[in-house]
A and B are shown apart, each in its own frame.
Chain A
């Protein structure tokens, strides 16, 4: 792996944290690392990539690149790879990045591995599979290697370096500009949906009664997350089915999953077991959830949760 190019996604004037994380990781692989920022009026944010490990940052700045659409980005990346000889292109998972990476793979006949949580210097990717029950070592046989990393796989670590900013040529295929952005997304008005949330606070039978879901809601709001429910309480009518996490509900993998009064039966577990960090509060010391929670607290959630919500609010302000 000699020359690595990292796709730096950006939103509202800042490079996305996930992209910076991948860049930081790339910097540890002992290769020549460059980043690329694609959009319009983005020159300003390019330089900051140097602080996270990029020796060079390419900027493709063009009015036709304003909207975050994938196909024009494939054109820019493909030219860079061909002209500059990059053998590895890395992406942080996002809706946009997935489309760009796959389009680029087809353009360059390059192998693409996705869902990775790690990459070694000798070019082996680590990919959890089958609901994270097995970790697969994957590799590439193509000349150019493409990889997409799972959300949150790497922290963005500042290294204090500087990058040389260069202009990348922008030459777009006819079909790349056929799709047009009519209206771009605004910032979310309400809380995130369960599928997108970084933090989920889930309530189970231990809450005692439907009104006590307010405890979960307040904690979720303080943490900026979404509220989920177990099958048992949805069956009992305490919360809607759209919030059900589990085998017959939704499968989620947020950065943080807080389980309140949930026993952890396998039907629930399979819906949330690949969460990064699991915190459980339950008054039954033998609840199965304590076998896989990163932090389990045996206690009365009615006492602990209000205090916890207060402490979270205090930290955030």
Chain B
């Protein structure tokens, strides 16, 4: 049980480190970071920061203007959500039914890790018990 808890804490720390490493630095980094969270409406699952379409390029300009105007990340994302709906956000907001999407991967990861550990422990127990029976 102790090992499972240590494993869970390790996974959470790792996720935190990855999130910190991704934090944007300058305004253009922030624009790209925000653009990577907005779905291109005329593509399939591609963020506006990566789409070659004219609409996506113009949407990136809107993000740029709003960042320059001092809007917060939430305000910029809300602008697009208010117009195109929540599907325009590549990362659904962690609320309501969306919570399942956010919680499920961590649950599967911790649960899967715990399952593997338990299987390993079981096998180790069996292999150490087998020679004793033979002797």
Our verdict on whether A and B bind, yes or no, reads: no
